[in-house]
Chain A
Amino acid sequence: MAQAAKDAGAKIMFGYPITPSSEILETWAKFCLKDTSLSILQTEDEMAAGFGTIGACLAGMPAFTATAGPGNVLIQDAFSMAEALRIPTVAMIIQRGGMSTSTVIYSQEEVRLTCFGGNGEGFRIVYSTSGLQELYDYTRKAFKVAWQYRWPTFILADGYQGKMMGEVQTVDSKQQTVDSKPILKQGVNLRNCYNLEEEIGEIIVNYSDEYNRVRERIEEYDEYQINGAEIILLAHGIVAAACKIAIDKLRKNGWKVGLFRPITLRPFPTKAASKLLGQAKKIIVLESAIGQLAELFKNELYWINVPLMEINKPAVGFTPEEIVETISQLQ
């Protein structure tokens, strides 16, 4: 992910160590030794990491941070401001187990927090990756998209993906993707505090209109064996990778089953989902949380007339075998 950030044209990282995101900070520190155009600051806490990232973005430099779990809670202070002032921060969220300090490796418990963490409407872009190559590709993409649309952008992964080892196809770092310019320059006075409810209300409405106008260009999804599928599994991140293996086995046994995977959790790929999921006889949401993905789906596609089943394993992963077993027991 650090390599992807570098290849995207990121120049500076602010971070506070927390498992399982610390390796990104450590790797970036090594890059900084070799490349003097890069810099790093290990901050005193996650708030400083978030606001440092904001400061660098205001100066026009592509900047990022990485955190997890309780760090993700603290850093929302900064992302709330990034949302309000349209600052293109990029953050890598490597989910830990949910609730408080909890466990250090895996969960999908930070979906709601990453999508809607601020005291606002969640005008954010959140990519949920499903493997090493995607971690690289979407990290690169995140910088481009953040500076293009100026919404705070997140790569949502987990400790499994963070600790995974494997080969990744990288691109030439000279083909940098970010087009960044100073935001806080002569003649610019920014504030996020208002006297009148009407003033901020108007700004929120304008943001919402703009977010809805551009969202279809940002929305991304992945599908697998979805054509003619009667049962469609809905999963994101690493759970979706397990679903794909399960689907291959289930298909061999004659089950008409497919997968719909939102890559952008915010904005949710509603247009594609409404087209592809409407034909199913059953939708089964699988996630390592209780209803966090299902909630996003239901908010956007409340009108869809397909029976919905939820398989929730909070903070615990799915194996392809257990997915096969669960589906095989369905009537």
Chain B
Amino acid sequence: MDKLPRFPKCYKIESKPHKFCPGCGHPIVLKMLGQVIDEMGIGQQVVFLVDIGCSLLAWDFYNLPTSQTHHGRTVPTAVGFKMADPGKIVIAYVGDGGAYAIGLQHTLTSCLRNDPITTIVVNNTLYAMTGGQSAPTTIDKQITTTTPGGKSEFTTLRGPELLKSIAKPQVYFESSRNKVLPKAGSYLARGSTNSPLVLKQYLKKALETQIKGNFSLVEAISACPVNWRTNAEQTIKRMIELEKIFKLGEL
């Protein structure tokens, strides 16, 4: 048993095992985030706000001040909290529906204002909690419960790319060790639960960006085998396919 990796310290042990379905990507994102919070030693500063949808299942995932909000309204709640208590590191944890459909106006405006909060978007290309309906991120021809004939082509929303045109540009400076580090500006990135350690680096940079007073958003491509109706092999295949449609990396 000693050889099993330990839970991150910020986990709430009483709420484990967690509430997510087998094969879901959420626990991978949450685990990476938990490790980042531990490694950065910011457990006393983080405030975690979760949206409606599967993200709400994280309402008692961590031993951190956590509140669920309403669908799409996590970003404005996070902005309100951060304005009232700028010393906190505020994370809005949302799905692709919350970030890019019902809450898109908040995501856009918060990015435009360069609010010092971090938004984590778990993108599984559909509404999972409600049974697999189509989302803005649903890919061309994808069959969902509300697009039984396949979704129309050229209607896939790519969130970080959309935000790029309004995000505060990054300003670089040379550090003493000649490494180029971002000095100011928003941080946008897309990772995948297939590459958790890369995703972890993005999450870390996102929180560092907030600490420097800027907006950050990390999208994580994530699997939903239950609503995709895929077995393990098909799920991995779908993930690889999605990683081609949603380009991974920092923007």
Contact = CB atoms under 8 A, between A and B. Distances in A.
Interface of A: 11-12, 14, 39, 41, 43-45, 47-49, 51-61, 63, 77-78, 80-81, 85, 182, 184-193
Interface of B: 12, 44, 47, 49, 52, 56, 59-60, 63-70, 72-73, 76-85, 88, 105-106, 108-109
A236 B85 CA distance: 38
A58 B81 contact: yes
A53 B80 contact: yes
- Please name the 8 residue pairs, one residue from A and one from B, whose CB atoms are nearest each other, closest first: A55-B80, A52-B80, A59-B84, A61-B84, A56-B84, A48-B76, A55-B81, A59-B85
| Listed residue (B12, B80, B88, B105) with the most chain A CB atoms within 10 angstroms of its CB | B80
Contacts of B52: 193
A41 B83 contact: yes
Contacts of B44: 186
A56 B80 contact: yes
A193 B84 contact: no
A191 B59 contact: yes
Contacts of B85: 59-61, 182
A86 to B, nearest CB: 12
Contacts of A14: 80
19 contacts: A41-B79, A44-B106, A44-B108, A47-B106, A48-B76, A51-B70, A51-B80, A52-B80, A58-B81, A59-B85, A77-B70, A80-B70, A81-B73, A182-B85, A184-B81, A189-B12, A189-B67, A190-B66, A191-B56
A130 B60 CA distance: 45
A55 B79 contact: yes
Nearest to B59: A191
B60 A55 contact: no
B4 to A, nearest CB: 25
A57 B68 CA distance: 14
Contacts of B78: 55
Contacts of A192: 68, 70
A327 B105 CA distance: 52
A52 B12 contact: no
Contacts of A190: 59, 66-68
Given A59-B85, A184-B47, A47 B56 contact: no
Nearest to B19: A195
A61 B79 CA distance: 13
Contacts, number: 120
Given A51-B77, A189-B12, A12 B84 contact: yes
A48 B109 contact: yes
Contacts of B88: 59
B222 to A, nearest CB: 20
Most chain A CB atoms below 10 A, which of B83, B108, B109: B83
A189 B78 CA distance: 15
Contact of A184 (B67, B83, B105, B109): B67
A45 B65 contact: no
A191 B68 contact: yes
Contact of A63 (B73, B80, B108): B80
A279 B190 CA distance: 71
Contact of B65 (A49, A53, A54, A186): A186
Given A52-B76, A184-B47, 11 more contacts: A12-B84, A39-B83, A44-B108, A51-B73, A52-B77, A52-B79, A53-B80, A55-B77, A59-B47, A182-B85, A188-B65
B65 A184 contact: yes
Given A78-B70, A190-B59, A193-B56, A47 B76 contact: yes
Contacts of B108: 44
Contacts of B47: 59, 184
Contacts of B66: 184, 188-190
Contacts of B68: 190-193
A188 B46 CA distance: 12
A205 to B, nearest CB: 21
Nearest to B113: A41
A38 to B, nearest CB: 11
A89 to B, nearest CB: 10
A241 B139 CA distance: 61
Nearest to B50: A191
Contact of B76 (A43, A57, A59, A60): A43
Contacts of A78: 70, 73
A45 B44 CA distance: 32
B113 to A, nearest CB: 9
Contacts of B79: 41, 48, 52, 55
